[in-house]
């Protein structure tokens, strides 16, 4: 990124750590072999993939044999949902429990499977974005086949109590999947201590490369492969391994594991500084999501009454500040964030909401400059209750 | 104005707005390209494909570029009004509202928040300022074949002061040469001529899709004396001056002369019945910001491709005028714009203002023939 730019969109994607770039460059240069080949070239590549598998597993608190590398979290989510629900004989007897604030890569396959007879229950959220516990408990009594819930929301940063809910599901014999794409590297995760059966995540949200991720399969039936053939990943994901990507993912996970506490502290200091500054400058600003502990330390989703977030994003970009109106996937679309709508916000409120997410490399000087620009441009837009000028 | 500040250019993905952006970059402005995504995917223009062309041009020019989604507002403010206008027996010209509301009101507001000093478009029109600090005037472009001032009569002083038309002083061929010189992907792209959200000119099916009740609004086709000649399946299928697709035959060419939305009656007549001496124009906007002392002499254009006819304009209401043509004009249609230009020999080519053709046009022939039937 250009040095004078201020990047506050780390929930969309993150810049690569230098260590990751170096490890990937080495892999691209020095590991020409196919990990499935028995010769020396193949064996060297295979060794690096195995090491990366250990690094990813350590970061998630699980064992290496549970990791199935994929082309990212979207693939992992599709793989899990289709592989556990879609391939089992009759869909009519299957019942999926998910929520209204999932990532589209869970919502879309759930909807597609629903058209083929799958029963889908969607747990609603309260005005802070927390899942409705009573609905969850009621749904459990219906003995669904699989629960799939997002750990930390990509738009609001709201963290759900999935560890506790996995216990409840496990006690009822219900399979439990977590989409942890936003949580990994920003929230403590130790799968060994949980009853989570499956977990999806992606490298590029934790300063690793794009296009690689994994599905963790700890217990329960192995999902049928989305991409069969080739026998890679214990037959669960065909296709020659993205060796350099997997190596980069491993290094990113290793760094995230070692630096997690420090990162969380730094993120929170920067995020709170941004919120305090914005709150002082723009008295009518409102936070989307809980202000207490159940939120990612790096994420701030705010509504600035009277602004149109898509225009604010462009205006900030022109001044060197990269932020987002909802998820990156929503840019260029007028449909308001389904997450904020599920939290009871109006269309106008959702369209006046901005997502700010800090990450590695951000400084307090940048935070102050970004807050100044947000304030200036919100006033330029004549946001309701602020003076023009 | 020709400052070196930030300018927001409406980039449609066509050659004109591409060159407009390129010329501003060359003049030293900080150019920001914005494609307004207006009509849905069924449309041929303002589609996401065009947005990709615009993005390619923006990348080639090294400027920032955004796609702004206005599909919801466009549906409400332009497409639905277009359909309703047909149901009311008028012949709408949606490009005027599109230009006014979207390229100017909405885009200018966006530009203001983006810190832009001005909005620029690829329109063929010229803006001048009478003197330093004086009022702003709108004029026909150098290339009269490409004149788009007919669509711009609703611009006001504030908007003109913050608008740039970089192509106003160029011939179309020069614009294409600039595009080729700059190697722009849009250099040889075909012109869009139709209404962008009406593919293949089939406006009736667009109206029926938006307002399904249109199909149930059939009625009679009558001659000038009221004699029933046949039936039709919806007044939205007719336009004043239309000759084909009437479904009735009397052994000589006949034309639609009048559409009555209440009785759902379509009146047909001879070519002479289309000759109109005077029209009433409503929703009148004067570019100067204040109505002139009328009557005034003007050249009035009643449709896009119309040379304009000399007329006398008299104020008859706060935003209403009567336009009396010196020679009868053929088939001015309610719903179309009547745009007033300075008469020849005065401040040539200047747009004074305009409005919407309102009244039932009076046929000179009908008046002369009284109750004579076809």
Position B247 confidence tier, pLDDT thresholds 50, 70, 90: confident
Q: Are strands B118-120 and B163-164 parallel, antiparallel or unpaired?
A: parallel
Closest CB to A315 among B69, B72, B114: B114
User: What class has domain B6-181?
Assistant: alpha beta
Position B196 confidence tier, pLDDT thresholds 50, 70, 90: confident
Closest CB to A318 among B32, B68, B112: B32
Rounded Cα–Cα distance for residues B30 and B64 (Å): 9
Query: Splitting chain A (389 residues) into consecutive groups of 10 residues, what average pLDDT does each group show?
Result: 82 97 98 96 97 98 98 98 78 89 96 93 96 96 96 97 96 97 98 98 98 98 93 95 98 98 98 97 93 89 93 96 76 75 94 96 97 95 57
pLDDT at position B39: 81
- Contact B69/A333, CB-based, under 8 Å? yes
Structure-token pair, residue A202: 């992606």
- Contact A318/B115, CB-based, under 8 Å? yes
Backbone dihedral region for residue B121 (phi beyond 0: left; psi -120 to 50: alpha; all else: beta): beta
State the fold for domain A18-255: 3.40.640
Tell me the catalytic residues of B. 98, 196
DSSP string, B8-56: EEE--SSHHHHHHHHHHHHTT-EEEEEEEE-S-TT-SSSSHHHHHHHHH
Decide if pLDDT at B366 tops 60.
no
Q: How many CB atoms lie within 10 A of CB A15?
A: 15
C-beta of residue B11 within 8 angstroms of C-beta of residue B57: yes
Among chain A residues, CA nearest to B63: A318
The residues on A that touch B, with CB distances below 8 Å, are 308, 310-312, 314-315, 317-319, 332-334, 377, 380-381
Main-chain phi, psi angles of A136, to 5 degrees: -60, -45
Decide if pLDDT at B206 tops 80.
yes
- Contact B113/A315, CB-based, under 8 Å? yes
Element (H, E) at A380: helix A364-380
Among chain A residues, CA nearest to B48: A332
Q: How many CB atoms lie within 10 A of CB B115?
A: 17
pLDDT at position B6: 96
Q: How many CB atoms lie within 10 A of CB A389?
A: 7
In chain A, CATH 3.40.640.10 sits at: 18-255
Give the pLDDT confidence of B286-323 residue by residue, as tens digits.
999 999 998 999 999 999 989 899 999 999 999 999 99
Position B199 confidence tier, pLDDT thresholds 50, 70, 90: confident
Q: In Å, how far is A317's CA from the nearest CA of chain B? A: 9
Number of helices (H) and strands (E), helices first, in chain A? 11, 12
Hey, which residues does B354 pair with through a beta bridge? B285, B339
Handedness of CA B107, B111, B117, B122 (dihedral sign): negative
Is B55 an interface residue toward A (CB < 8 Å)?
A: no
CA neighbor of B330 nearest in space, from B256, B265, B224: B256
In chain A, CATH 3.90.1150.10 sits at: 6-14+259-380
Q: In Å, how far is B238's CA from the nearest CA of chain A? A: 35
- B326-354: burial string, b at 16+ Cβ within 10 Å, e else: eebbbbbbbbbbbbbbbbeeeeebbbbbb
Position B343 confidence tier, pLDDT thresholds 50, 70, 90: confident
Q: How many CB atoms lie within 10 A of CB A121?
A: 16
> Is the CATH number 3.90.1150.10 carried by domain A6-14+259-380?
yes
Domain range summary for chain B, segments of one domain joined by + = 6-181, 218-269, 274-367
Q: Return the HEC string of A217-263.
A: ECCCCCCCCCCCCCCCHHHCCCCCCCHHHHHHHHHHHHHHHHHHHHH
pLDDT at position B97: 86
pLDDT at position B156: 95
Question: What's the longest Cα–Cα distance across chain A?
Answer: 71
C-beta of residue A94 within 8 angstroms of C-beta of residue A145: yes
pLDDT at position B312: 96
Beta strands in chain A (DSSP E): 6-7, 67-70, 95-99, 119-123, 146-150, 175-179, 198-202, 213-217, 286-287, 299-303, 321-322, 353-357
Among chain A residues, CA nearest to B71: A334
C-beta of residue B183 within 8 angstroms of C-beta of residue B60: yes
User: What class has domain B274-367?
Assistant: mainly beta
Is B115 an interface residue toward A (CB < 8 Å)?
A: yes
**Predicted model pTM:** 0.89
- Contact B64/A318, CB-based, under 8 Å? yes
C-beta of residue B329 within 8 angstroms of C-beta of residue B284: no
pLDDT at position A88: 53
Hey, which residues does A227 pair with through a beta bridge? none
Tell me the average pLDDT across B335-343: 94
**What is the rounded average pLDDT for all residues in chain B?**
88
Regarding predicted confidence, which is higher, A388 or B54?
A: B54
Q: End-to-end alpha-carbon separation of chain A, Å?
A: 31
> Is the CATH number 2.30.30.280 carried by domain B218-269?
yes
- What does the DSSP 8-state code read for residue B151? G
- Residue B139 CA: distances (Å) to CA of B118, B169, B253, B365: 18, 11, 38, 35
Element (H, E) at A174: none
- What does the DSSP 8-state code read for residue B181? H
- Contact A317/B64, CB-based, under 8 Å? yes
Angle (CA) A283-A286-A290 rounded to 5° is 135
- Return all residues near B49 (Cβ < 8 A) that are at least 6 apart: B13
CA neighbor of B11 nearest in space, from B124, B183, B19: B19
Name the packing angle between helices A364-380 and A309-318 (round to 10°).
120
C-beta of residue B148 within 8 angstroms of C-beta of residue B123: yes
Position B348 confidence tier, pLDDT thresholds 50, 70, 90: low
The set of long-range contacts for B142-148, using a CB threshold of 8 Å and a minimum separation of 24, is B142/B168, B142/B169, B142/B170, B142/B171, B143/B170, B143/B171, B143/B172, B145/B172, B146/B172, B148/B123, B148/B124
Is B68 an interface residue toward A (CB < 8 Å)?
A: yes
**With 0-12 CB in 10 A as exposed, 13-18 as middle and 19+ as buried, what is B172?**
middle
Q: Are strands B228-232 and B136-139 parallel, antiparallel or unpaired?
A: unpaired
DSSP string, A298-345: TEEEEE-TT--HHHHHHHHHHTTEE-BSS-GGGTT--SPPHHHHHTT-
Rounded Cα–Cα distance for residues B362 and B75 (Å): 34
CA neighbor of A198 nearest in space, from A218, A214, A183: A218
- Contact B114/A318, CB-based, under 8 Å? yes
Is B75 an interface residue toward A (CB < 8 Å)?
A: no
Angle (CA) A161-A165-A170 rounded to 5° is 150
- Return all residues near A349 (Cβ < 8 A) that are at least 6 apart: A303, A305, A340
Decide if pLDDT at B362 tops 50.
no
- Contact B115/A380, CB-based, under 8 Å? yes
- Contact B115/A334, CB-based, under 8 Å? no
Is B129 an interface residue toward A (CB < 8 Å)?
A: no
């Amino acid at each position: 990124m250009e040095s004078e730019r201020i990047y506050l969109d780390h929930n969309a994607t993150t810049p690569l750590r230098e260590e990751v770039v170096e490890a990937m460059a080495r892999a691209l240069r020095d590991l020409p072999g196919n990990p499935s080949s028995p010769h020396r070239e193949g064996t060297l590549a295979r060794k690096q993939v195995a090491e990366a598998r250990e690094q990813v597993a350590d970061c998630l608190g699980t064992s290496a044999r549970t990791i199935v590398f994929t082309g990212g979290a979207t693939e992992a989510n599709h793989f899990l949902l289709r592989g556990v629900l879609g391939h089992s004989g009759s869909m009519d007897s299957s019942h999926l429990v998910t929520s209204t604030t999932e990532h589209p890569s869970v919502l879309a396959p759930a909807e597609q499977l629903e058209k083929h007879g799958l029963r889908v229950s969607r747990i609603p959220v309260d005005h802070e974005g927390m899942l409705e516990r009573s609905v969850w408990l009621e749904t459990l009594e219906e003995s669904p086949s699989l629960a799939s819930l997002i750990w930390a929301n990509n738009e609001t940063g709201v963290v759900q109590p999935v560890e506790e809910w996995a216990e409840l599901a496990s006690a009822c014999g219900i399979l439990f999947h977590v989409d942890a794409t936003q949580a990994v590297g920003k929230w403590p995760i130790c799968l060994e201590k949980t009853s989570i059966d499956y977990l999806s995540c992606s490298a590029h949200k934790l300063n690793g490369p794009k296009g690689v991720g994994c599905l963790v399969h700890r217990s329960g039936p192995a999902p049928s492969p989305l991409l069969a053939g080739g026998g890679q990943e214990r037959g669960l994901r065909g296709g020659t391994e993205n060796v350099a990507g997997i190596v980069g993912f491993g290094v990113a996970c290793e760094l995230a594991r070692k630096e997690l506490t420090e990162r969380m502290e730094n993120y929170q200091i920067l995020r709170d500084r941004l919120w305090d500054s914005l709150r002082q400058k723009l008295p009518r600003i409102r936070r989307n999501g809980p202000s207490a502990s159940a939120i990612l330390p790096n994420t701030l989703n705010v509504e600035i009454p009277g602004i149109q977030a898509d225009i604010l994003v462009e205006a900030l970009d022109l001044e060197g500040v990269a932020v987002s109106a909802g998820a990156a996937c929503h840019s260029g679309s007028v449909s308001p964030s389904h997450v904020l709508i599920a939290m009871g916000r109006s269309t106008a409120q959702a369209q006046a909401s901005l997502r700010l997410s800090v990450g590695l490399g951000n400084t307090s000087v940048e935070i102050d400059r970004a807050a100044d620009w947000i304030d200036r441009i919100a006033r330029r837009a004549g946001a309701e209750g602020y003076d023009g000028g | 104005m020709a400052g070196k500040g930030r300018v927001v250019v409406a980039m449609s993905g066509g050659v004109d707005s591409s060159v407009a952006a390129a010329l501003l970059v060359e003049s030293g402005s900080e150019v920001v390209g914005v494609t307004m995504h207006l009509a849905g995917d069924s449309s041929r223009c303002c589609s996401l494909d065009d947005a990709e062309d615009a993005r390619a041009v923006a990348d080639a020019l090294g400027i920032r570029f955004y796609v702004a989604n206005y599909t919801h507002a466009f549906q409400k403010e332009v497409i639905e009004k277009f359909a309703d206008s047909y149901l009311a027996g008028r012949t709408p010209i949606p490009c005027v509202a599109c230009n006014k509301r979207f390229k100017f009101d909405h885009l200018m507001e966006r530009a203001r928040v983006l810190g832009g000093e001005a909005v620029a478009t690829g329109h063929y029109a010229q803006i001048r300022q009478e003197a330093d600090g004086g009022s702003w005037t709108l004029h026909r472009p150098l290339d009269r074949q490409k004149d788009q001032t007919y669509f711009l009569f609703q611009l006001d002083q504030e908007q003109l002061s913050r608008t740039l038309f970089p192509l106003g002083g160029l011939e179309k061929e020069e614009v294409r040469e600039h595009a080729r010189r700059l190697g722009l992907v849009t250099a040889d792209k075909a012109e869009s001529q139709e209404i962008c959200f009406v593919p293949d000119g089939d406006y009736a099916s667009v109206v029926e899709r938006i307002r399904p009740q249109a199909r149930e609004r059939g009625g009679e086709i009558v001659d000038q004396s009221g004699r029933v000649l046949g039936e039709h399946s919806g007044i939205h299928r007719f336009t004043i001056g239309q000759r084909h697709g009437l479904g009735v035959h009397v052994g000589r060419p006949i034309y639609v002369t009048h559409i009555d939305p209440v009785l759902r009656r379509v009146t047909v007549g001879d070519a002479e019945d289309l000759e109109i001496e005077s029209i009433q124009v409503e929703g009148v906007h004067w570019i100067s910001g204040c109505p002139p002392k009328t009557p005034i002499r003007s050249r009035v254009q009643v449709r896009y491709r119309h040379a304009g006819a000399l007329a006398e304009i008299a104020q008859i209401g706060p935003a209403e005028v009567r336009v009396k043509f010196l020679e009868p004009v053929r088939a001015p249609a309610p719903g179309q714009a009547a745009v007033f230009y300075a008469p020849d020999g005065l401040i040539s080519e200047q747009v004074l203002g305009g409005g919407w053709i309102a009244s039932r046009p009076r046929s000179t022939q009908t008046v002369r023939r009284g109750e004579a039937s076809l």
